[in-house]
Amino acid sequence: MTFGAAAFLLAALAAVIPPILHMINRRRAKQLPFSTLRFLRVSVQKTRRRRQLHDILLMLLRMAVLILIAFGLARPTVSKLRNFFGGADAAVAIILDNSASMAGIDEGRPRFEWAVNAAEQILDELGDGDQVSLWTTSGVRYPELGTFDDGHDKVRQLLAQIGQAGATYERGDVGTLVHEARRQLAASTAANRQIFIITDNQAVAWQGLRQADETADATSSAEADSETSRKEREIPIIIVDCLRTPKPNVAVRRVEIQTVIPVAGIPMKAVAEVFNTSSVPQQRLLELYLDGNKIGSSPELNLAPETAATVEIVFTVPRGGLHQGEVRLAGEDGNPHDDRRFFTIEVGAGIPVAIVCGERHEIAYLNDSFYLERALQPVDAEDWAIKTVVLTAADLATEPASNYRVIYLVNLPALDAAVAQRLADYVEHGGHLVWIAGPAVNAEEYNAMNAAAGGRLLPAPLLGIAAPDPSQERDSWYVASLDKQHPAATHLVDPPSLYRSVLAYKYVKADAAGVPDAKVIGRFDGDGDPWLMERQVGEGSTLFLATNVHVDWTNLPLRPIFVPLIARLTFHLAGGEATRFTADAGGVIVLPFEGRIPPTAVEVLPPSGALSRIQVSEKTGGTKEFRYDDTHQVGVYVFRLLESVRPSQTAYAVNCDADEADPAVISREDLEKLLSGTPVIFADNPEDLSGTFALLRQGRSLSEWFLAAVLIGLIFETFISNRFSPKEETSPKVLTAYRPTRRLSPV
């Protein structure tokens, strides 16, 4: 405790006055002549004890009142933060929240502008020689961030640059920066060290601190009680809350493109999820844009407070190629950063697919792959999305498997060891094999081939061919179930008759139960044997279809499900799903080379349109992948792999982090619990921090509390004095007349 006017403490000596006065003015009993005191002695003794207690209590109250008055006039303050801006040098870390939530409109201005204004006030209050560093929770990592400067000019320039850029589209991490700022300040020699956190206290921004605390709890007690840890927790934290009166906001949190096959002219569906983050109902309208042109909109949405709704907009893509799309909220909103969400669609991509079969017949219908070839190439148009090449088993010895995204192996005998090893390496590095059964498939030979290749060719061991048993009065099996969670089967499970009409007259049994990571996509009735199964191997996958794709073993090629199933399976394996390539702003985009000869350079076209060429090196991921982290803008990023064996183009849709639309804030009680052991001050007015600065200079004043105690003491003194003091007795009435009740008899 410190005092702003310590001289007034001398006034506490006045507390000796009440005892002196009480001793001088002690009440003495009046001496009155009375015939006898024999009947009053007991009453006098009780009255004397009550009077003594009353006098002592009044004396103590009056002494306390005088002492409290003296302390109140001395302007007492209690704070570890006193002399923050004056007297001694200071080291200050400013953590500025520039995440997407700070772009919200609050009292007519973006919340981030309030935050920048608060940071400028802090810089204005610093004196010459005081050290200061600036940290941002997201965005570009400037070299000057997190470095202390005693000249303040660099920090001011950096703050102006960040303020001009505005809030980012990224998720903020306040908690991690608190630990880093504590670590640097603990090593500082400055007499005063403080951390300013300027934020809207969004709950997700503090998760880093929660995780760090959980990690700290797992460490030993000796480490937790170390001198360094104690110093870090003693550093005061001032939290400037920029959340005031936010404008009602609706966010587009998710967009998914659903289609049977991504082909031009076929109807597609944009499924968007919107979330009303405010506490009032709202009416909004969604608009759909493709390649910059508006092609659809939703009906008006009535959104209840703090609830989400799903909207579907049907559209078609007029031509093949790579297309950039966007779902956007119409009109103004409380946070423009979460009003739009980007996506990409690639149709007519020319996905290279190989079909490997046995000996070719002069009559095409007799080929085992006859129906499969037509399912993969249903039209002769040049812009069809799948480009097929038919090979024989002998071609696999010389044909580079990496030229194809998917390889279908139709009714082949077991391959020789060299070819099997090449295919196993192909799968390991991102390729996809689809084995299709038939009369040429021998279970024992296939299992031996798979074992020689390290178990990388088949999803599960084969058990042999199953054929109908006349004694069981069965001539076929039907597909009884289909996994609706699998991307290839998602849109093919309703109605169930679509797949239950598929019959198998023979099939190859497989032991999927013996392989934990084998995933069964479809099952037969009866014993529930797998019809179609899949297993991940390295970066690729291998699948097995238990029947063939000709009419001698099954009616599958004749059923309506055949063409969409094969097409969706191919698009899924080749990575042709419309919304597959997405990322959050600020995240890292990784392009795997999938076992191919890596390109020498990658051409990057960001949303800004500034084309750049980046040389492939260890810094960018080496020969296995390409890593790109400059994703601070939202929009579509196009990557072109140059000078590789198979040049390719990939587009990623980068969007605002959906968690930034979460309106939940962390309470002060939770913050104090997270920062336990640390002095914490909350500043509610980022527009004017003068009151906070005064508190930091002078400490928290206790004068009001002392004066309030004086008032309470005076009230008690008055109450006790009036309650227990003897009341004045009234003068005795003069007897003016006397009427005896009995008549006296004369003597």
Q: Cα separation of 150 and 148, whole Å?
A: 7
Q: What is the DSSP letter of 576?
A: -
Q: Cα separation of 181 and 146, whole Å?
A: 8
Mean pLDDT, the chain, whole residue set: 84
How many CB atoms are located within 10 Å of the residue 380 CB?
6
Tell me the average pLDDT across 95-105.
Answer: 95
Q: Cα separation of 504 and 638, whole Å?
A: 45
Q: Concatenated DSSP letters for 266-334?
A: S-EEEEEEEEE-SSS-EEE-EEEEETTEEEEEPPPEEE-TT-EEEEEEEE--SSSEEEEEEEEE-S--S
Q: Cα separation of 612 and 630, whole Å?
A: 12
Least confident of 301-315, 377-391, 429-443, 503-517: 377-391
pLDDT at 482: 94
Kindly state the tokens that stand for 437.
């059964």
pLDDT at 150: 83
Residue with the larger pLDDT of the pair 239 and 232: 239
Give percent of the chain with pLDDT exceeding 90.
50
pLDDT at 643: 66
pLDDT in tens, 391-409: 998 999 888 888 898 999 9
Q: For residue 620, what pLDDT band results from cuts at 50, 70 and 90?
A: low
Tell me the average pLDDT across 728-740.
Answer: 52
pLDDT in tens, 324-340: 999 999 988 899 999 99
- pLDDT at 86 > cutoff 50: no
pLDDT at 220: 42
Q: Cα separation of 490 and 485, whole Å?
A: 6
Q: How far is CA 532 from its chain centroid?
A: 37
> What count of Cα atoms within 13 Å lies in the side-chain half-sphere of residue 410?
22
Of the candidates 301, 349, 302, 304, the one whose C-alpha atom is nearest the C-alpha of residue 327 is 301
- pLDDT at 208 > cutoff 70: yes
- pLDDT at 644 > cutoff 70: no
How many CB atoms are located within 10 Å of the residue 446 CB?
23
pLDDT in tens, 379-391: 766 667 788 999 9
Residue with the larger pLDDT of the pair 118 and 538: 118
Q: For residue 95, what pLDDT band results from cuts at 50, 70 and 90?
A: very high
Tell me the average pLDDT across 80-107.
Answer: 78
pLDDT at 378: 80
Q: Cα separation of 199 and 104, whole Å?
A: 12
**Partners of residue 701 on adjacent β-strands:** 77
Q: For residue 662, what pLDDT band results from cuts at 50, 70 and 90?
A: very high
Number of H helices, E strands in the chain: 16, 37
- pLDDT at 293 > cutoff 80: yes
pLDDT at 85: 47
Highest mean pLDDT among 162-171, 199-208, 313-322, 703-712: 162-171
Q: Cα separation of 621 and 649, whole Å?
A: 18
CA distances from 642 to 45, 257, 307, 363, 614 (A): 112, 29, 46, 42, 10
- pLDDT at 638 > cutoff 90: yes
- pLDDT at 98 > cutoff 90: yes
Its sign, for the CA torsion 366, 371, 373, 378, is: positive
pLDDT at 631: 95
Q: Name the residue with tokens 């529930």.
A: 528
pLDDT in tens, 439-494: 999 999 999 999 999 999 999 999 999 998 877 778 899 999 999 889 888 888 98
3-state secondary structure 213-281: HHHHHHCCHHHHCCHHHHHHHHCCEEEEECCCCECCCEEEEEEEEECCCCCCCCCEEEEEEEEECCCCC
pLDDT at 33: 59
Q: For residue 222, what pLDDT band results from cuts at 50, 70 and 90?
A: very low
Residue with the larger pLDDT of the pair 143 and 713: 143
Tell me the average pLDDT across 8-14.
Answer: 70
pLDDT at 364: 86
Mention every residue, 6+ apart, whose C-beta is less than 8 A from residue 13.
none
Tell me the average pLDDT across 306-315.
Answer: 94
pLDDT at 381: 62
Show the CA angle centred on residue 207, arms to residues 202 and 213, nearest 5°.
135
pLDDT in tens, 506-564: 999 999 988 889 999 999 998 999 999 999 998 889 999 999 999 999 999 999 999 99
Q: For residue 151, what pLDDT band results from cuts at 50, 70 and 90?
A: confident
Kindly state the tokens that stand for 134.
């600036």
Q: For residue 438, what pLDDT band results from cuts at 50, 70 and 90?
A: very high
Q: What is the pTM of this model?
A: 0.70
